[in-house]
Amino acid sequence: MTTYKRVLLKLSGESLMGEQAYGIDQERLSDYAIQIKEAVALGVQIGIVIGGGNIFRGLSGAAKGFDRVKGDQMGMMATVINSLALNSALTAHGVKSRVLTAIRMEPVGEFYSKDKAIETLEKGEVAIFSAGTGNPYFTTDTGSSLRGIEIEADAMLKGTRVDGIYTADPEKDASATKFDKISFDEIYNRGLKVMDLTATTMCKENNLPIVVFNMDEKGNLLKVLSGANIGTLVHV
């Protein structure tokens, strides 16, 4: 038995780099595909949003002189590349999946709609949501919140490089302590950067809990789905 029947899994594009400085590490991609396959085998319905930071990040481009709208559009295309890579890796491991794009670009992917997404999930296939919300000025975290709410997910699982939410950045502050659970309000009050404010507010207002965990450790996705006390649960 699993704690969640349908989830929105948010993956970090930067994590896809593995030990590389740029691009997609095939071993890391395969690890993710195997973990997702194990979850699907348990009957969990999985929608996925993956970032594009391993290829291009719109905000970084804007800081270097890119037009913000064009930069964000480039970031959206980066998420499509990562989504196609994950789709290919899942196929190689015998998992059916479908790439849905927020911007029309058939035959690269099918144009997103809630009905199409839920139909995909109910067939036991993985739905990969790419191109963010299709609009500039919105992050993939916000895209994840939106898709998670639309598909009526039980929770958003945010796979990162750290094992939860801390009082400070554990990579910079050795005294940082980890939360097992934390409310959305406490995140606001402490000024913690779990996701951007828009994404966090959407989850709070629509009662979509978030579990932040380390996706890079093999087997962690199954542990989260099974209700193991790893990561940090963000609740209303």
The whole-number pLDDT of residue 214 equals 96
Considering the domain boundaries, does residue 1 fall inside one? no
Considering the domain boundaries, does residue 163 fall inside one? yes
The whole-number pLDDT of residue 1 equals 73
Considering the domain boundaries, does residue 128 fall inside one? yes
Provide the percentage of residues in the chain whose pLDDT is more than 90.
89
Lowest-confidence segment of 52-66, 131-145, 158-172, 212-226 by average pLDDT: 52-66
Top pLDDT among 119 and 68 is at 119
Ramachandran assignment for 124, one of left (phi > 0), alpha (psi -120 to 50 degrees), beta (any other)? left
Q: Which structure tokens are listed for 212?
A: 């932040």
Mean pLDDT score of the chain: 95
Each residue of 77-117: pLDDT tens digit? 999 999 999 999 999 999 999 999 999 999 999 999 999 99
| Tally of domains in the chain | 1
Print the domain residue range for 116: 6-235
Answer yes or no: is pLDDT of 225 > 80.
yes
Lowest-confidence segment of 79-88, 146-155, 167-176 by average pLDDT: 167-176
How does residue 233 score in pLDDT terms, banded at 50, 70 and 90?
Answer: very high
The whole-number pLDDT of residue 142 equals 97
Stretch 59-81: mean pLDDT? 88
**DSSP E strands: which ranges in the chain?**
6-11, 45-50, 97-101, 110-111, 126-130, 155-160, 165-166, 178-179, 181-183, 210-214, 232-235
Burial tier of 113 (Cβ tally within 10 Å: 0-12, 13-18, 19+): exposed
Each residue of 175-213: pLDDT tens digit? 999 999 999 999 999 999 899 999 999 999 999 999 999
Considering the domain boundaries, does residue 169 fall inside one? yes
- The CATH number of the domain holding residue 177 is 3.40.1160.10
